[in-house]
């Protein structure tokens, strides 16, 4: 994976940190000659659209009016804003060259006092800088492939030594190495966010992690949690920080060595408990090995171990989980309990490139999943269970409204993913706009709740048939015949276009065996040599019973599609015919 460093100062040190931090994915850093910001942005050498770029510039070099402000010569604030807008225009123009561009917000050395008490007044140095950053942020708000990184936070982390005049004069590097370490950490988190590899689940211990004390010994009434007590307040704050993650779509689970009834009583009854049992998507409260419990939680929640963060006050338990499950991220945890909340808030493994409706309601979706599973255990057969769910699928074309979620799903899904094709939003839009290509997004709901946009099927029409390019389904709705419904929908579409065959080429990865298993049971013929599945369209593909498919009415104006009118009109007509 390649990262282009584009700057008007020497960024080599940042490149060295990124190349030598031992993190995954391995980054190959290409440093553009410093000072060549716009040529490197607009005509990058050795670049491909899958590359990332970091743009880190000095405010006085990018915005000449700000340089005038630094020199206390006449400048107009309108001129400052106009120059920032020009900079944003160039970033937008460069977007097509990169998968994502990260732009560092402008900062100013603390050595600049400006005009002291007037610095934050109109025309003051700090107010102008705030305005520049705000303008830049607003200009880039609607660019999903460009992200502003908060450089000021790195300076604050490092403190007064963040700017180094000595390094500047020796090497044209303005910042201390520690600033670049901070930047490297945030940049890694940003890349993970874009790649969809950020963490999705926090598994927490209970005693001395969620509250102070051992509930089995003390009883829930005597735990230190809340009250007029510094430690009690610290634990309440830590629980609030966890709840805030939950509200962002990060799932919570418990792995604790305790009697389940005793621990749940504490969670239910303690008056100052912030997190209640409903806030956790699953738990394993027993005396078993925690690593085994975490592996079970991953299976229950259909998540990979690499999606999990484990928090425990006990270093022995942390070491055990690290040793047994190296994919699970187990951060070192402070002995000082007043630092739990701030440590959690500082973790940079939860970043997300988009916040979608599916993210914020993820916890609720897992709760309804649990209800579904309970029903599954009550009914006599899997078929009866699926019928009883009353599933409804809504099929949408790619649109401005659903594009962020489609890109997120495409880039995050590992298990039910035919080809594991990863694309940035601009790449996906460009792909869909090509002749003879179609993409549908599938929203799934049932009587227990709405699972949101959870499926993608895209295909490319070839001479006598169609090739399924993407077949992606969230693990949340796997095994409920949604897979078959998607294929039935695609087959009907292709039949309406008088095509003869529907094909799918399986690209194996370390994680998409469930997808292969589904296709092997799909009824499609399998050619082992080509890893290709085919269905002759002379036969209708069977639609599963009990599942309704429909298309929303207000889709037309917003859809992203090819400019080739003839075939697409036929496609739209077929879509309507199928869903009506």
Query: Residues in the site for another protein, rule: CB under 8 A?
Result: 10, 12-13, 16-17, 19-21, 161, 164, 166-167, 170-171, 173, 176-177, 180-181
The count of other CB atoms within 10 Å of the CB of residue 166 is 9
Residue placing its CB nearer to another protein in the complex, 35 or 523:
35
The H-assigned helical ranges of 325-470 are 340-346, 357-360, 362-378, 382-388, 403-412, 425-433
Residue placing its CB nearer to another protein in the complex, 138 or 171:
171
Nearest to 457 by CA among 499, 492, 496: 492
Q: How far apart are the first and last CA of the chain?
A: 45
Smallest distance, Å, CB 166 to another protein?
Answer: 6
What is the rounded CA–CA span in Å between residue 263 and residue 207? Answer: 9
What is the rounded CA–CA span in Å between residue 216 and residue 450? Answer: 38
Smallest distance, Å, CB 163 to another protein?
Answer: 11
Q: Hey, what long-range contacts does 67-71 have (CB within 8 A, 24 or more apart)?
A: 69/123, 69/125, 69/128, 70/112, 70/125
- β-strands 2-7, 52-56 pairing: parallel
Taking phi over 0 as left and psi of -120 to 50 as alpha, with beta for the rest, 363 belongs to alpha
Residues in the chain: 580
Smallest distance, Å, CB 61 to another protein?
Answer: 21
Residue placing its CB nearer to another protein in the complex, 86 or 161:
161
The H-assigned helical ranges of 415-564 are 425-433, 482-496, 513-520
Residue placing its CB nearer to another protein in the complex, 182 or 399:
182
Residue placing its CB nearer to another protein in the complex, 181 or 270:
181
Reduced to 3 states (helix: H, G, I; strand: E, B; else coil), residue 3 is strand
Residue placing its CB nearer to another protein in the complex, 17 or 235:
17
Cross-strand pairs, 175: 163
Smallest distance, Å, CB 19 to another protein?
Answer: 7
What is the rounded CA–CA span in Å between residue 441 and residue 460? Answer: 15
Smallest distance, Å, CB 167 to another protein?
Answer: 5
Residue placing its CB nearer to another protein in the complex, 161 or 434:
161
Residue placing its CB nearer to another protein in the complex, 12 or 564:
12
Residue placing its CB nearer to another protein in the complex, 164 or 420:
164
Smallest distance, Å, CB 186 to another protein?
Answer: 16
Residue placing its CB nearer to another protein in the complex, 114 or 185:
185
Residue placing its CB nearer to another protein in the complex, 19 or 296:
19
Q: Sign of the C-alpha dihedral, residues 370, 374, 379, 380?
A: positive
Residue placing its CB nearer to another protein in the complex, 14 or 194:
14
Strand residue runs (E) in 163-258: 201-204, 251-257
Using alpha carbons, list the distances in angstroms from residue 292 to 76, 200, 285, 297, 366. 64, 19, 12, 9, 21
Smallest distance, Å, CB 349 to another protein?
Answer: 19
How is residue 362 written in tokens? 């993820």
Smallest distance, Å, CB 337 to another protein?
Answer: 27
| Residue 231 near residue 446 (C-beta atoms within 8 A) | no
Smallest distance, Å, CB 113 to another protein?
Answer: 20
How is residue 551 written in tokens? 């298309």
What is the rounded CA–CA span in Å between residue 288 and residue 550? Answer: 47
Residue placing its CB nearer to another protein in the complex, 7 or 420:
7
- β-strands 251-257, 201-204 pairing: parallel
Smallest distance, Å, CB 21 to another protein?
Answer: 7
Smallest distance, Å, CB 178 to another protein?
Answer: 8
Smallest distance, Å, CB 181 to another protein?
Answer: 7
What is the rounded CA–CA span in Å between residue 511 and residue 318? Answer: 26
Smallest distance, Å, CB 423 to another protein?
Answer: 32
Residues near 283 by beta carbon (within 8 Å), at least 6 away in sequence: 253, 254, 255, 256, 260, 277, 297
Q: Which residues of 433-470 are buried (b: 16+ CB within 10 A; e: fewer)?
A: eeeebbbbbbbbbbebebbbbbbbbbbbbeeebbbbbb
């Amino acid at each position: 994976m390649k990262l282009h460093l584009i700057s008007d100062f020497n960024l080599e040190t940042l490149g060295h940190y990124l190349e030598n931090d031992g993190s995954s994915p391995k980054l190959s850093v290409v440093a553009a000659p410093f000072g060549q910001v716009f040529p490197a942005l607009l005509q990058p050498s050795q670049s491909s659209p899958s590359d990332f770029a970091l743009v880190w510039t000095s405010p006085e070099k990018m915005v000449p009016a700000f340089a005038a402000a630094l020199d206390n010569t006449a400048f107009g604030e309108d001129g400052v804003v106009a120059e920032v807008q020009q900079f944003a225009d160039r970033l937008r123009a460069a977007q097509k060259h990169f998968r994502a561009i990260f732009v560092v917000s402008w900062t100013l050395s603390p050595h600049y006092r400006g005009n002291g008490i007037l610095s934050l007044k109109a025309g003051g140095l700090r107010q102008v800088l705030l305005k520049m950053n705000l303008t830049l942020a607003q200009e880039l708000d609607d660019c999903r492939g460009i992200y502003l990184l908060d450089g000021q936070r790195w300076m604050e982390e490092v403190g007064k030594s963040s700017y180094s005049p000595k390094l500047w004069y020796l090497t044209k590097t303005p910042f201390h190495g520690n600033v670049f370490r901070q930047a490297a950490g945030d940049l890694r988190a940003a890349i993970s966010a874009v790649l969809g590899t950020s963490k999705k689940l926090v598994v927490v211990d209970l005693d001395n992690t969620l509250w102070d004390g051992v509930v089995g010994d003390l009883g829930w009434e005597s735990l230190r949690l809340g009250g007029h007590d510094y430690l009690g307040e610290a634990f309440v704050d830590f629980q609030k920080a966890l709840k805030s993650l939950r509200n962002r779509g990060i799932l919570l689970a418990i792995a604790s060595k305790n009697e389940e009834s005793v621990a749940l009583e504490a969670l239910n009854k303690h008056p100052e408990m912030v997190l209640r049992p409903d806030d956790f998507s699953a738990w394993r409260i027993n005396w078993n090995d925690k690593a085994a419990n975490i592996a079970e939680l991953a299976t229950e929640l259909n998540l990979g171990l690499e999606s999990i963060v484990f928090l425990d006050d006990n270093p022995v338990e942390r070491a055990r989980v690290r040793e047994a499950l190296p994919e699970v991220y187990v951060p070192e945890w402070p002995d000082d309990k007043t630092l739990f909340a701030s440590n959690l808030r500082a973790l940079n493994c939860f970043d997300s490139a988009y916040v979608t409706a599916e993210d914020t309601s993820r916890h609720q979706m897992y709760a309804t999943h649990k209800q579904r599973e309970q029903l599954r255990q009550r009914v006599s057969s899997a078929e009866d269970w699926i019928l009883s769910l009353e599933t409804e699928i809504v099929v949408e074309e790619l649109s401005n409204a659903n594009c962020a979620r489609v890109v997120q799903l495409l880039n995050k899904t590992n298990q039910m993913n035919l080809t594991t094709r990863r694309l940035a939003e601009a790449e996906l839009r460009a792909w869909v706009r090509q002749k003879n290509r179609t993409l549908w997004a599938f929203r799934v709901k049932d009587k227990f709740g709405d699972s949101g946009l959870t499926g993608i099927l895209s295909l490319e029409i070839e001479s006598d048939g169609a090739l399924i390019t993407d077949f992606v389904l969230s693990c949340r709705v796997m095994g409920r015949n949604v897979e078959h419904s998607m294929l039935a929908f695609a087959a009907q579409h292709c039949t309406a276009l008088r095509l003869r065959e529907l094909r799918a080429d399986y690209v194996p990865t370390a994680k998409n065996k469930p997808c292969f298993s589904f296709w092997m049971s799909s009824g499609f013929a399998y050619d082992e040599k080509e890893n290709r599945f085919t269905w002759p369209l002379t036969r209708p593909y069977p639609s599963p019973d009990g599942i309704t498919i429909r298309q929303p009415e207000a889709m037309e104006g917003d859809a992203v599609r090819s400019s080739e009118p003839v075939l697409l009109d036929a496609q739209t007509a077929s879509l309507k015919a199928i869903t009506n």
